[in-house]
Structure 1
Amino acid sequence: MSRPKKWTDVSIELIKDPDNFELWQQLITSAEYNDKNGISKSTPQSQLQTLRTSYDRFLAKYPFMYKYWIRYAEWEFKLTDLDAAIKIYDDAFQHLECCIELWVNYLQFRINTITNNVDQVLNLFEKARRLIGCHFYSYEFYTLYLSFLESYATDTNQFKRKYYTLLRIILEVPLYHYEYFYKKYFELISRIGNDAKLQSDLPYIVPAKELQRQTKNLSQELKKTFTDAYITIQHKVYELYHFEKRFKRHHNDIRLISRQQLDAWLQYFDFLQLQKYPQSYIEMNYWRYLYIAANYPESWQKFADYFVFYKKFNSARHILIRGWKYLGNHQILIKLIDLEIFLKQYLRAKELIVEYVKYNVSIPVAIHEKLISIERIFNENDDDHMLNIFKSIIQDTQNDWFFNVLNYYSIDKDKKMVFLAEMKEFKGQKYYDTAMKLVSEKGKEDQEKSPNFNQLYKQLLYSSS
């Protein structure tokens, strides 16, 4: 294995090639290698800061790579303290709130460092359950949660009863390893009637309606009831697995994703909506999709479309803003602007596009077209202002396409004709000539349609004589 480059050398290379992922990885490696010295608590502060700077810069550019957040948190725990590590995890959850791998790692970390804050850790488990409890691959999370409740149960904290309640909740979740939890529950109910300790906990183990049955037959009746539930969940899992098995990637990566993979996700969402799965379940899966396909503008747009469909406009705005900041793709910006216009937030829409034009040298045609449309909203009856906008854009871009765009706007034809005459240096170019032809033909049509009152008057005079 070759020796890592010096950190300064990698930094210089990154200035020249800021989108080179391998260089970003080398930056982390070089900081950790630290010219053969490695990193420890005794490392000088300047070198520790280099390590932190490397991770901060890397994760600012690649915020969905959960493994690097975990590595960063581990370093902070080794070098500083528990609170510093927790802060890194908190920062990670700002980007990866529904990342099950990150949650499992974090919860295990909190268990490993537990003191007298058992209830605090319990609250974290519950927060995670609300966010990723319906994840198709939540087996590891639930086994960790059950293990935590079992390990820290006392006579006073009711954790044992929480354990039974959680186990019953899990049985209703269509997850990949559903058999494991049904097996645990069947083992539990088989002890009813034989284990006196379970009698006081029956309300937490058994559904209320089942408690009305005779205790002697309760175990058998429960087995029958939950066998039916098992069959129902099995059917749901098989339905979901039909889609889940097609997903070959479950984390963010710079490598391209096949069109088949992306389409499979969209088909999955169609299925979930058709089957009327809860919105929280669909949204959680959209986050899964986004973490994997964040490098594709359409992933942000599709998620925003979902929110718009259900009139969750603030959520749609939030997604588009995040996507715009992450990718800087003008298509996402245009969708955000369209959303603001739809919500009649015209000033906000204008600010977004003016800000883009102000700080970017190369402006896509679509952005200029959107700028023109917004200007028309604010200057509905000011044709002169609109023609000045067109003139400025055409002169700046030297693109005669905007003469074609001009045809879409209802502007006084005489003013259009004067404008086209002023822009005669574009004569001979396709869209200029087309615009001139359309305006000229419109003028002739208007002349033909308008009545000649002098001629009509003469005709009337002659007819009367």
Structure 2
Amino acid sequence: MDNLWQLVHQNPQDFMSWTLLLQYCEQTNNMDTISRAYNQFLSHYPYCYAYWIKFAEFGRKLSNERTAFEMLEKAVTVFPNSIDIWIHYLQECIRCHKSDNHIIVLFERALRLCGSDYNSSDLWLLYLHWIQTFRSDPSEVTLIYDRLLQTPIKKLCQHFENFVTFVENNNPIDIINKNEYHLNDNEYNDFINNSKTNCIDIIQFKRSSELSFNVNHLKVRLSYII
């Protein structure tokens, strides 16, 4: 190992020697030895995102969760527009059941830094999946889709199709804020207040109104990507 250290100190641009050194240090299963090698390697190659993730994994396995999160926080500070590091960081927070506020702050930070990247689809999808799985308010999903469908990224048409499915599978009042819903519902309220309206008419009108709302809601979102 001393020979490898000598090689990388003599020529820090010798990437092959660095990878050999890292492999050798990893085999020791000693966190101090691994940290020394990774910290020096990443000071020369800060954009090797896979090595940041690997380093954090060693921190988790050989030290503790706190060490791993400190490494990931350092990684996104040094390389803030790495989508892969952000996704791994967020997945670890979700796995460890960090608080909702903590996770939301991290998601928003990640989107602010790299959410407009053409290849950020997986980051957006992770956010949507987390909200749909762990949050109880479907309107939060709509708000994310509103932002996503205005962002020119990869697989945008697929995102819109997912949004169509989401709208079709949910009651309108559940997926938008109440003020927006009641604006659409005024016509329905006027209709049911008509003394000549019977129950069958009300049911048919309500179904037609909700269908019309969903179609119009989708048209607005579709306009983002045309």
- The verdict on a shared fold, with TM-score over 0.5 as the criterion, is yes
Separation (CA, whole Å) in 2 of partners of 1:207 and 1:128: 31
1:85 shift after superposition: 0.7
1:19 shift after superposition: 2.4
Q: Which residue of 1 aligns with 2:127?
A: 145
1:219 shift after superposition: 2.4
Relative distance call for 1:183 and 1:29 in structure 2 (3 A) is same
- Which secondary structure state, in structure 1, belongs to the residue aligned with residue 224 of structure 2? helix
Relative distance call for 1:134 and 1:54 in structure 2 (3 A) is same
- Verify: 1:30 aligned to 2:16, yes or no: no
Aligned ranges 1:56-75 → 2 under 5 Å:
56-75=39-58
Query: Number of paired residues?
Result: 205
Q: Which residue of 1 aligns with 2:200?
A: none
1:208 shift after superposition: 9.0
TM-score in terms of structure 2 length: 0.80
1:28 shift after superposition: 0.4
Q: Name which of 7, 10, 13 aligns with 2:4.
A: 10
Separation (CA, whole Å) in 2 of partners of 1:210 and 1:96: 45
Separation (CA, whole Å) in 1 of partners of 2:184 and 2:221: 11
- Verify: 1:78 aligned to 2:61, yes or no: yes
- Which secondary structure state, in structure 1, belongs to the residue aligned with residue 177 of structure 2? helix
1:164 shift after superposition: 1.8
Q: Please say if residues 139 and 175 of structure 2, whose CA atoms lie closer than 8 Å, have aligned partners that are also in contact.
A: yes
Relative distance call for 1:209 and 1:98 in structure 2 (3 A) is farther
Separation (CA, whole Å) in 2 of partners of 1:213 and 1:9: 81
1:108 shift after superposition: 1.1
Greater RCO, 1 or 2 (C-alpha within 8 Å, sep 6+):
2
Q: Please say if residues 167 and 214 of structure 2, whose CA atoms lie closer than 8 Å, have aligned partners that are also in contact.
A: yes
Aligned ranges 1:163-202 → 2 under 5 Å:
163-191=141-169, 197-202=171-176
Separation (CA, whole Å) in 1 of partners of 2:130 and 2:91: 9
Relative distance call for 1:165 and 1:57 in structure 2 (3 A) is same
Q: Please say if residues 210 and 222 of structure 1, whose CA atoms lie closer than 8 Å, have aligned partners that are also in contact.
A: no
Q: Name which of 75, 84, 91 aligns with 2:74.
A: 91
Q: Which runs of 5+ in 1 are unaligned?
A: 1-6, 40-46, 232-465
Q: Please say if residues 119 and 153 of structure 2, whose CA atoms lie closer than 8 Å, have aligned partners that are also in contact.
A: yes
Relative distance call for 1:184 and 1:58 in structure 2 (3 A) is same
Separation (CA, whole Å) in 2 of partners of 1:176 and 1:169: 14
Instruction: Give the percent of matched residue pairs that are identical in Structure 1 and Structure 2.
Output: 21
- Verify: 1:118 aligned to 2:100, yes or no: yes
Q: Deviations over 1:275-303 (max 9, x none)?
A: xxxxxxxxxxxxxxxxxxxxxxxxxxxxx
1:9 shift after superposition: 2.1
Separation (CA, whole Å) in 1 of partners of 2:164 and 2:55: 42
CA RMSD of aligned residues (A): 2.5
- Which secondary structure state, in structure 1, belongs to the residue aligned with residue 9 of structure 2? helix
Aligned ranges 1:12-411 → 2 under 5 Å:
12-34=6-28, 39=29, 47-115=30-98, 117-154=99-136, 158=137, 160-191=138-169, 197-203=171-177, 215-216=209-210, 217-231=212-226
1:212 shift after superposition: 6.6
TM-score in terms of structure 1 length: 0.41
Report the AA paired with residue 15 of structure 1.
Answer: H
Q: Any runs of at least 4 consecutive aligned residues in structure 1 with deviations exceeding 6 A, and if so which?
A: 206-214
Separation (CA, whole Å) in 2 of partners of 1:62 and 1:152: 37
- Which secondary structure state, in structure 1, belongs to the residue aligned with residue 176 of structure 2? helix
Q: Please say if residues 10 and 26 of structure 1, whose CA atoms lie closer than 8 Å, have aligned partners that are also in contact.
A: yes
Separation (CA, whole Å) in 2 of partners of 1:229 and 1:209: 22
